[in-house]
Amino acid sequence: MRSTPRTSPSSRRPYLCQQGAEQAATRLGARFTWTMVHRAVLRSLASDLYGDFLCRSE
């Protein structure tokens, strides 16, 4: 796996999600780009996971 520069989480897309999406798109002969739907789903997932983490760490 290649390394990515350290930046704030809000300024970059999750690398592993992007890598998987790019591989899937390549296999289908397509090109992957981040859409508003992709961004909204990732924000929602991150929020849910963070909330779960906080509940379990109390």
Amino acid at position 34, single letter:
W
**Of 3 and 33, the one with more pLDDT:** 33
Whether pTM exceeds 0.75: no
Q: What is the pLDDT of residue 23?
A: 94
34: left (phi over 0), alpha (psi -120 to 50) or beta: beta
C-beta separation of 25 from 32 below 8 A? yes
* Span 9-51, pLDDT tens digits: 544 557 777 888 899 999 999 999 889 998 898 888 888 888 8
Q: What is the pLDDT of residue 6?
A: 52
Q: What is the pLDDT of residue 51?
A: 85
29: left (phi over 0), alpha (psi -120 to 50) or beta: left
